[in-house]
Structure 1
Amino acid sequence: MRFPHERRQEILRLLEAQGRVSVGDLSRRLLVSEVTIRKDLAWLAAHGLLIRTHGGAVLADRNPAELAFEFRERLNREEKTRIGRAAATLVQDGDSIALDASTTAMYLARFLRDRRELTVVTNGMRVAMELAGRPGITVLMPGGTVRWEAFSLVGAWGEAILRQVNIQKAFVGAKGLTLEEGLTDVNPEEVRMKRALVEAAKEVIAILDHTKWGRVAFATFCPLERVRLVITDDQAPPDLVEAVRRRGVEVWRV
């Protein structure tokens, strides 16, 4: 039997994938009573994460993947930790890197705290907080407008700054990865900022868990041929992983 927070995370996953859910279907999927499901939906609605409907719920946001950051960071926590740990092995003392505002980038940042002479460019406020004040690490944040959904800074001000810096590696998350569309995301402003990070970097490394494979979001911010490496977890679909490798992109399953 799942704990309440595990059920609610699964409900959010299903909402992210489907856009709406019903009490009956959730009861059957999660093997709990409809009364329990209604309590979970009421709790999630009280926290602004969904809107109750007759017999179910829909997302509270018109962008289906824009769950509140503090809940998204808990989704697939173990997988993101493994991905972050593996990605950190690619960062050496003295590097200049970029991290986007994704939750997986935040997990990566936690494994960089002991680096020396490291420069990190990020538009992620939570990423910056993980590294701020660490000896030997300089954090640079481009200016812009705050997006509370992602705790990120977006806008043309930040893009102008990124055109003036040299970044060796950009580590970016995504809402989706496919062969045709490459890396995609849901918010237009976030897409523009991610594009700027990618354009400023010599190498692009995608950090994303298995739920993002085969999905397409609003717009492409990085074509597949621009990606050098994808770091994902061991539940990533093998057929799509092999197809990406055949395109010349290295894939780590951790």
Structure 2
Amino acid sequence: MQRSLRHKTIIQALGEGEVRVVDLMRLTGASSITIRRDLAELAAVGALERTHGGARRPLKRGAPMPFASRREADQHVKAALARRAAVLIADDESVILDNGTTCYSVAQELAGRPLTVLALSLHAAAALASRPGASVSTPGGPVETDTLALVGSAAMTAVLNFRADVALLGACSAAPEDGLTSTTFEDAELKRAVIAASRRRILVTSAGKLSRTASFRFGDPADLTHLVTTADAPADALHAYRCAGVEILLA
């Protein structure tokens, strides 16, 4: 079983109580060494708490999957979205690249091209800078553990002082009736600044997020110029985006 799927299975198995290593071995078909390594990785990012012989759900709800696990999940989908989004970017343009695993895939696709990029995560910045071509910068200020996203007032100032031809955005949720939303206030504030600083705004997201919503709104469908999503996106959501004047590209 792929690591990202094992991690997802482990978190789902936690439920409301404690789960033992032996139970997780049975669920995943993995060895005890592999399961204990998975538990250590998940505990390091706060997704669970280790116990004697197993793990339990953390006291804090809503802990995210580790970045590495999310990056591994649905790689072919994210790669297809990245290729579709990349055609909307012309050489020598200035770009703001959002954080998140889908935008990380976009960074990999854009690596080597002559662009000026403000990357809002160190993961994306490293992917872009791995090949000669792009001029890559990052905001100052705090860096989130695991996601390596740049956060805080320094990131906000850097975005507002950057005039972008195009912004590539991710979203936790993008149901058109509820708008573009994020799970944290700080991320929503930063995304709102990205929209204000960019001439073209491209949301790159999987189909499932077009029927979800989160707590903090950072924009409306009409704030976008383009939506890049997958062909299985719900027809009613695509219709709502088109009615808002958004050009849609399907991967």
State if a TM-score over 0.5 links the two structures: yes
How large is the RMSD of aligned CA atoms in angstroms?
2.9
User: Gaps spanning 5+ residues in structure 2: where?
Assistant: 18-22
Kept in 1, the 8 Å contact 2:9–2:28? The answer is no
Decide whether the 8 Å contact of 2:6 with 2:28 is kept in 1. Answer: no
- Corresponding residue for residue 37 of structure 1: 27
**What is the DSSP-based 3-state SS (H/G/I as helix, E as strand, rest coil) of the residue aligned with 2:72?**
coil
| Cα distance in structure 1, aligned partners of 2:178 and 2:227 | 15
Q: Look up the equivalent residue of 1:146 and give its one-letter code.
A: V
> 1:137: which partner in 2?
134
Query: What's 1:62 paired with?
Result: 61
- Summarize the Cα distance change of 1:113–1:242 in structure 2 as closer, same or farther, 3 Å threshold: same
Higher share of residues assigned strand: 1
Is the Cα–Cα contact under 8 Å of residues 210 and 236 in structure 1 kept in the other structure?
Answer: yes
1:247 maps onto 2:244 in alignment: yes
SS at 1:154 equivalent: coil
* SS of match in other structure, 2:143: strand
Does residue 91 of the first structure (1) align with residue 85 of the second (2)?
A: no
Q: Work out whether residues 63 and 187 of structure 1, in 8 Å CA contact, stay in contact via their aligned partners in 2.
A: no
3-state SS of 2:95 partner: strand
SS in 2 for 1:206: strand
Shift of 1:4: 4.9
| Equivalence for 1:26 | none
SS of structure 2 residue aligned to 1:170: strand
2:136 aligned counterpart, secondary structure: strand
- Which one-letter code corresponds to 1:78 in the other structure? H
Unaligned runs of 5+ in 1: 24-32
Amino acid at match of 1:104: T
| Counterpart Cα distance in 2 of 1:186 and 1:249 | 24
* 2:40 is the counterpart of 1:46: yes
Partner amino acid for 1:193? L
Q: How far apart, CA to CA, are the structure 1 residues paired with 2:214 and 2:152?
A: 20
TM-score by length of 2: 0.82
Write the deviation string for residues 77-114 of structure 1: whole angstroms up to 9, x where unpaired: 11100000111111111100110111111101111123
Q: Pairwise mapping of residues 1-254 of structure 1 onto structure 2 (< 5 A)?
A: 3-5=1-3, 7-8=5-6, 10-11=8-9, 15=12, 21=15, 36-37=26-27, 44-47=38-41, 48=43, 49-51=47-49, 58=57, 62-64=61-63, 66-116=64-114, 118-132=115-129, 134-254=131-251
With normalisation by structure 1, the TM-score equals 0.81
Cα 1:217–1:39 shift into 2, 3 Å: farther
Return the alpha-carbon distance in structure 1 between the equivalents of residues 172 and 14 of structure 2: 18
CA distance in 2 between counterparts of 1:44 and 1:188 reads 30
- Answer yes or no: is the 8 Å Cα contact 2:5–2:73 preserved in 1: no
Contact 1:67 1:149 in 2 (8 A): no
* 1:46-84 CA-partner distances (Å, limit 9, x unpaired): 32233589xx964675335x2211111112211100000
Contact 1:92 1:115 in 2 (8 A): no
How many Å apart are 1:138 and its aligned residue? Answer: 0.7
C-alpha distance in structure 1 between counterparts of 2:232 and 2:16, whole Å: 27
Q: Give yes or no for contact 1:50–1:61 (8 Å, CA) kept in 2.
A: no
Q: How many residues align?
A: 236
The DSSP-based 3-state class of the residue aligned with 2:177 is coil
Identical-residue share of aligned pairs (%):
28
